């Protein structure tokens, strides 16, 4: 963890630090959103619920071995005849490895960048120049939640999927313990947004998360998440939400003109 934070500090010290870096790239689209919802983050059908179908697959530098799953971005295309000035908000749900574009979007997200009545015109282009920035995720009236995956089996294995992660952060570590205990055990990122452990404590379970925040990292504690009789396939409310903003180093910060 200390090594990660030192590396993060080095990156920030070598460039302008801000929470709204603006990046330039090209994006393409998938004709079927299912290709993205069933992707590397493992959200399945819940991806559409979280994003309204505005899904995106991103290059490894944004996917970050799964830590980038659930990240929100504001994106707009640059053709002034076709594109709106506001653009649209997307959620990262999958990985793609073609370095010709930073993102591949669902067709719904791709069309949402267009001016009113120009959606089909932008689809015909297939590939467009864009600028984008990381923005906080907001889920009205929803806390951070975890879904117990079907592969979980007491008392030997627990896998959970993190859902509705707010703010502008990444979860880089997770621990689990029995409620009321200080005997924490670490969990590992299995893939995407899924964390697991083969050392499952008895009883009701609490979790603590290490998230990137500001220039550093911080612990966030969810004190009573899974009941003692937790069941696979069920989504559990953590009782908390993440609202922190992580800084990043970049050559161009949003000057406030892009609303």
Mark out the alpha helices in 78-128 (DSSP H runs): 107-112, 119-125
Please name which of 50, 19, 16, 3 lies closest in space to residue 213, comparing C-alpha atoms: 19
Checking if the pLDDT of 33 tops 70, the result is: no
Looking at residue 37, what is its pLDDT? 65
Q: Which of the four pLDDT bands, split at 50, 70 and 90, describes residue 38? A: confident
**pLDDT tens digits for range 201-250:** 999 999 999 998 767 789 999 999 999 999 999 999 999 999 998 887 77
**pLDDT tens digits for range 40-73:** 999 998 998 898 999 999 999 999 999 999 999 9
- Burial environment of residue 68 by CB neighbours within 10 A (0 to 12, 13 to 18, 19 or more): buried
Characterize 143-181 residue by residue with b for buried, 16 or more Cβ atoms within 10 angstroms of its Cβ, and e for exposed: bbbbbbbeebeeeeebbbbbbbbbbbbbbbbbbbbbeee
**Maximum distance among all Cα pairs of the chain, rounded to whole angstroms:** 60
Looking at residue 169, what is its pLDDT? 93
Q: What is the pTM of this model?
A: 0.88
């Amino acid at each position: 963890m200390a090594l990660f934070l030192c590396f993060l500090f080095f990156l920030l010290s070598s460039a302008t630090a801000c929470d709204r870096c603006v990046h330039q790239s090209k994006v393409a689209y998938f004709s079927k959103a299912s290709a993205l919802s069933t992707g590397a983050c493992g959200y399945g059908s819940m991806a559409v619920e979280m994003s309204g179908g505005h899904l995106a697959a991103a290059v490894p530098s944004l996917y970050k071995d799964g830590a980038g799953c659930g990240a929100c971005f504001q994106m707009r295309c640059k053709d002034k005849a076709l594109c709106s000035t506001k653009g649209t908000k997307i959620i990262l749900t999958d990985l793609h490895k073609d370095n010709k574009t930073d993102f591949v979007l669902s067709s719904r997200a791709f069309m949402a960048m267009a001016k009113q009545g120009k959606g089909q015109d932008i689809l015909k282009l297939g590939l467009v120049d864009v600028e984008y920035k990381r923005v906080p995720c907001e889920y009205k009236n929803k806390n951070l939640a975890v879904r117990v995956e079907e592969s979980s089996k007491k008392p030997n294995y627990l896998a959970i999927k993190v859902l509705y992660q707010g703010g502008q952060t990444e979860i880089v570590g997770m621990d689990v313990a029995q409620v009321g205990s200080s005997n924490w055990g670490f969990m590992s990122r299995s893939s995407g947004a899924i964390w697991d452990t083969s050392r499952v404590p008895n009883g009701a379970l609490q979790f603590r998360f290490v998230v990137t925040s500001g220039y550093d990292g911080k612990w966030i504690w969810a004190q009573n998440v899974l009941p003692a009789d937790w069941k696979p396939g069920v989504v559990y409310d953590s009782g908390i939400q993440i609202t922190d903003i992580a800084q990043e180093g970049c050559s161009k910060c949003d000057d406030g003109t892009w609303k």
